[in-house]
Structure 1
Amino acid sequence: MTHHYGYVGALFAAVLFGVSSTLNKIALGNVHPMVVAGSVYLTAGVVLMALRFTPLKERLLSTLEFRVKTQRRFSRRDVGLLGLIVLFGSFLAPLLFMSGLARTSAVNASLLLNTETLFTVLIAAAVFRERVPRSGMVGIALIIAGALVVSTENIGSVALMENPWGNLLVVLAGLCWALDNNLSRFLSLKRDLLLVTSLKCLLGGGALLSLSALLGVPLTIPAQSLPYILTVGSLSIGFPSSSTSSRSGKLGP
């Protein structure tokens, strides 16, 4: 039954990540989207890095191995891959998502994020030549139909909603996370996944906050928004990143 744990972890991660849209939407009421994105990922990175220095580290890493042979060393190629993963998965994707979420509803954002799965499958099939079963094709069709319904007022007339840019930004975020998913598969067998995922979050979050400072965006986070950001960072980003990466090839949303 151990080979099923990856699927359970991925499902649990999806639930936690789905809740994040609502919490992020509340935080965006008082904080700039770029600051929310950076703070959430920086929080996740700090939490994951802190776990590496606790007795839970070896237990967690052993649980994530699932009898699969892991790699202990990192090559120059791995460092380059990590850079691309940071760019797409923890910099561009959260920036696009938070900017889109600020312009659309949390429900729309959560539903449109299903396009991440669509893009992940399409990239895996087109670039990595993975075989897509018939059931997968049906799922892709349903995702496209759902995204079309959410993105339009009337599926018959295909009239865009009053604020289409928010939906478009969320879809683009899904594309970036899909690239992240496919690239992350190459690092998913590293022994120290906590190091990989924490670096991803720390570098991406730090870059977003640094860019915010350079652009003159206020970095102040009101006290009423802080619990939402900390919750999303530690539970909706940090935990899913560590729980799904070893078997799904994904380092997190």
Structure 2
Amino acid sequence: MNTNVAHQSRRAIGFAILSAALYALYPPIAKVLVVSAPPAILAALLYLGTGIGMTALFPLIHHTKAGQQEVSLSRADIPALVVVIITNIFAGVLMNVGIKLTSAGNISLLSNFEIVATTCLALVFFHEHVSHRLAWAIGIITVASLLLSVNDVRQFSFSWGAIFAILATICWGFENNLTRVLSDKDPLQIVIVKGWGVGLGSMVVSVFWQEKWPTLGPTLILLLLGFFAFGVSIYFYILAQRYIGAAKTSAYYAVSPFIAVLISIVFLHESLSIHFVIALLLMVWGSYLITRDTLQS
């Protein structure tokens, strides 16, 4: 590996970790602001922040990528984009309901279930190969998710917040498989269309639910959170993929839930129950197996 390639690889790893850190801001900050902004409005503002911010940056980003011609979206992509937008509306609202009903730490760990959902759906619909290591990881993460979904094992009382979060990750797992048909198109265009589409669609849901709009302060914070946690985060993720590929980028990005847990504990002073600690250790183990499987594939 020459010096230039090694430098690009180190930068790409930095981009992947920065992307993970930016997305990790979402659960703890949303947990604080969900009191002011109901779930559908919360989703609307986050995605509108993505759409507005990335639209503003689009000319600058494409100028810096001179020579790397992207394939633009076309009319043929509209059906797939519509399904992606609808799926994300469901996922965003469900996840925010989950954030309202349970701790940010629980939500952060449960986001790992998206890997399980994505892999299982890919296995069923696309017959993708699943290695023994990945199968073990899926089982471990599933057990950890079930632990986080139960409030009281003796009374078999479920945490509705965790259940809503798991349903959201299943929606995102479906979307991850669906976006295969868009994988050769300009990812920034997809992010912008998804940001505006999901944002406006979530606003329609908020009107239907008669949710109360937050004051100016929380509104601006959520727009900025959406821009950084969803928009800029995805941009850095794309940059990392350019140099080290999708598999290695996703492996480094796997630190995001654990950064979010750390933020929740330090800044929100969330308590650590025994079953949360056990679930955390299982999630670390499962994520380690997935990272090894990904880096060696």
Bin the TM-score by the shorter chain: 0.7 to 0.9
The 3-state SS of whatever aligns with 1:26 is: helix
Please state if 1:57 is matched with 2:51.
Answer: no
Distance in 2, Cα, partners of 1:92 & 1:61? 36
The unaligned stretches of length 5 or more in structure 1 are none
Structure 1 segments of 4+ aligned residues over 6 angstroms from their partners: 2-8
Contact 1:152 1:158 (8 Å CA) reproduced: no
CA shift in 2, pair 1:189/1:31, >3 Å: same
**Which residue is 2:156 aligned to?**
159
**Which residue is 1:18 aligned to?**
24
Two-structure CA RMSD over aligned residues (Å)? 2.8
Greater radius of gyration (CA) = 2
Match for 2:232: what amino acid? F
**Which residue is 1:74 aligned to?**
74
Match for 1:182: what amino acid? N
Deviation at 1:219, TM superposition (A): 2.1
The one of 176, 180, 193 aligned to 1:199 = 193
Distance in 2, Cα, partners of 1:158 & 1:179? 32
Distance in 1, Cα, partners of 2:91 & 2:122? 18
- Map 1:1-253 onto structure 2 (within 5 A): 9-54=15-60, 56-60=61-65, 71-72=71-72, 74-76=74-76, 78-89=77-88, 91-153=89-151, 157=154, 159-161=156-158, 164-190=159-185, 192-223=186-217, 225-226=218-219, 228-244=221-237, 248=246
Distance in 1, Cα, partners of 2:152 & 2:205? 38
Distance in 2, Cα, partners of 1:189 & 1:232? 28
Match for 2:210: what amino acid? G
Contact 2:47 2:198 (8 Å CA) reproduced: yes
Deviation at 1:33, TM superposition (A): 1.3
CA shift in 2, pair 1:8/1:100, >3 Å: same
Contact 1:26 1:228 (8 Å CA) reproduced: no
The unaligned stretches of length 5 or more in structure 2 are 250-297
Deviation at 1:3, TM superposition (A): 7.9
Deviation at 1:188, TM superposition (A): 2.3
CA shift in 2, pair 1:146/1:9, >3 Å: farther
Distance in 2, Cα, partners of 1:11 & 1:136? 22
Deviation at 1:193, TM superposition (A): 2.2
The 3-state SS of whatever aligns with 1:39 is: helix
CA shift in 2, pair 1:172/1:11, >3 Å: farther
If the length of structure 2 is used for normalisation, what is the TM-score?
A: 0.71
CA shift in 2, pair 1:101/1:87, >3 Å: same
- Structure that is richer in helix per residue: 2
CA shift in 2, pair 1:153/1:32, >3 Å: closer
Contact 1:6 1:248 (8 Å CA) reproduced: no
Distance in 1, Cα, partners of 2:59 & 2:149? 45
Deviation at 1:92, TM superposition (A): 0.7
Contact 1:153 1:159 (8 Å CA) reproduced: yes
The 3-state SS of whatever aligns with 1:31 is: coil
Instruction: Report % sequence identity.
Output: 23
If the length of structure 1 is used for normalisation, what is the TM-score?
A: 0.82
Distance in 1, Cα, partners of 2:116 & 2:134? 9
Deviation at 1:13, TM superposition (A): 3.0
Distance in 2, Cα, partners of 1:5 & 1:160? 46
CA shift in 2, pair 1:73/1:82, >3 Å: closer
1:210-246 Cα distance to aligned partner (Å, 9 max, x none): 33224432223342x2454133201111123333356
